[in-house]
Structure 1
């Protein structure tokens, strides 16, 4: 069971949320309900949670609490209740919330949101990631550290199908936000970076191994050979076989 912290000052709303769905059937348990936001820090220090649900009946307090949490933690957050306001939702995205469910909240919407977060938490567990994101006295992760984690993920999973959405889920970041930060930091989009890493890896394997071209394609994440050939020629200006012949000839000339 993943422990859930609910933050709202309205007892009737908290009781309604408790009764809205069968939490345990989705894999969550409601451990605490906080009467006011001032108590949040103390509760976090005493216990560890996997998800925070914040009432947006008081918009300013809800967003302020998101800001406090994001200074120290990447725990998934669901904002629930309040008005269907585009600007409010946009501000919420800046805090990398997992979902924003304005009133009237339907049980099936909440269930869908929780199921998505459950899959992300399960996936993080399977990859050896920590499931708990407690608030601490540590400084927030710098952007360059997050970008380094993205790069490490790409390097480790280069032979697989990789998407920024998947990485965002693992790191508990909003996908659009992470994509923009990556572009600002690397001066290229994530997809451009991923293509560069795959092609450079393929070049290295063509130059230094006797692997078949289809083996190299699989090694750098391409299951369809036509697509690999197209991308490699577009990137290098040569086919994979032409590139291998040219680099082999250059190597032999340098050895003479």
Structure 2
């Protein structure tokens, strides 16, 4: 059963959400429900939840502030319900890597569809964790633990990856693992992750017809503007210019054969 933290500043609304669908039937349980951001912050500092469910109907902008705090702690799924059908709110939710945003009125079918997709992603990640743990029968030396981290990055490059999440998965202290990673790879984990994202983006720009926004999502960016900025900073040219010049190089190579 996957546990949920529900944040909703209205007590009647909390009861309504609890009874809106048969959560247990779909594999979830609302383990805790809080009415204030302060109580929510206290809980996320002490516990980990499989899903964070926020009702924006009464939280308004404070709901997004709370999402920011969640993202500092974990990459686990966030589902926003309620609120208005506003493009700026949707964009803000995407920037915070929220898994889904269901504005009012929220139909039961929509909610079920959303949580089932989230459930699938949760179970895929847990299966991946189980695979890592069962496959590492030999002692985890400093060298092979870094190889595991690098393999995790390769397999999950399209997701929101944090060293803390990987450390928790491997039962390591995040600071210790970060130091070991830098010592072996001669760069920080963040630098390595950025390099891997950019190298895959370059490959996809050069050898596929995927749209640039699709490539951005494929390498873990939901904010297209942020992807453009990071790509140009890393390569010195924009993604569109890189694709254009790379395509010309490929054509020239083919003609020279």
Fold similarity call, TM over 0.5: yes
Contact 1:4/1:30 (<8 A) preserved:
yes
Identify the structure with bigger relative contact order (alpha carbons < 8 Å, sequence gap 6+). Answer: 1
Change in CA separation of 1:181 and 1:7 when aligned onto 2, cut-off 3 Å: farther
CA distance in 2, matches of 1:149, 1:26: 36
Q: Are residues 1:150 and 2:151 paired?
A: no
What pairs up with 1:1-256 in 2 under 5 angstroms? 1-56=1-56, 57-128=58-129, 144=191, 146-150=193-197, 165-168=217-220, 174=222, 176=224, 179-180=227-228, 182-186=230-234, 187-189=237-239, 235=250, 237-239=252-254, 243=257
Change in CA separation of 1:13 and 1:49 when aligned onto 2, cut-off 3 Å: same
Q: Give the structure with the higher percent helix.
A: 2
User: Alpha-carbon deviation of 1:19?
Assistant: 1.4
User: Alpha-carbon deviation of 1:51?
Assistant: 1.4
User: Alpha-carbon deviation of 1:89?
Assistant: 2.3
Change in CA separation of 1:142 and 1:82 when aligned onto 2, cut-off 3 Å: farther
- Larger C-alpha radius of gyration, 1 or 2? 1
Change in CA separation of 1:174 and 1:237 when aligned onto 2, cut-off 3 Å: same
Which sits farther off after the overlay, 25-34 or 177-186? 177-186
User: Alpha-carbon deviation of 1:95?
Assistant: 1.6
Structure 2 segments unaligned to the other structure (5+ residues): 130-151, 153-160, 169-173, 176-187, 203-209
The 3-state SS of whatever aligns with 1:110 is helix
Contact 1:3/1:50 (<8 A) preserved:
yes
Contact 1:2/1:27 (<8 A) preserved:
yes
CA distance in 1, matches of 2:121, 2:2: 12
Number of residues of Structure 1 aligned to a counterpart in Structure 2: 199
The 3-state SS of whatever aligns with 1:3 is strand
The 3-state SS of whatever aligns with 1:238 is helix
Residues 48-72 of structure 1: CA distance to partner in whole angstroms, max 9, x if unpaired? 1121111212212111112222333
Which sits farther off after the overlay, 61-70 or 117-126? 117-126
Contact 2:51/2:77 (<8 A) preserved:
yes
User: Alpha-carbon deviation of 1:236?
Assistant: 5.5
Change in CA separation of 1:9 and 1:166 when aligned onto 2, cut-off 3 Å: same
Residues 16-62 of structure 1: CA distance to partner in whole angstroms, max 9, x if unpaired? 11111222333322111112110122212322112111121221211
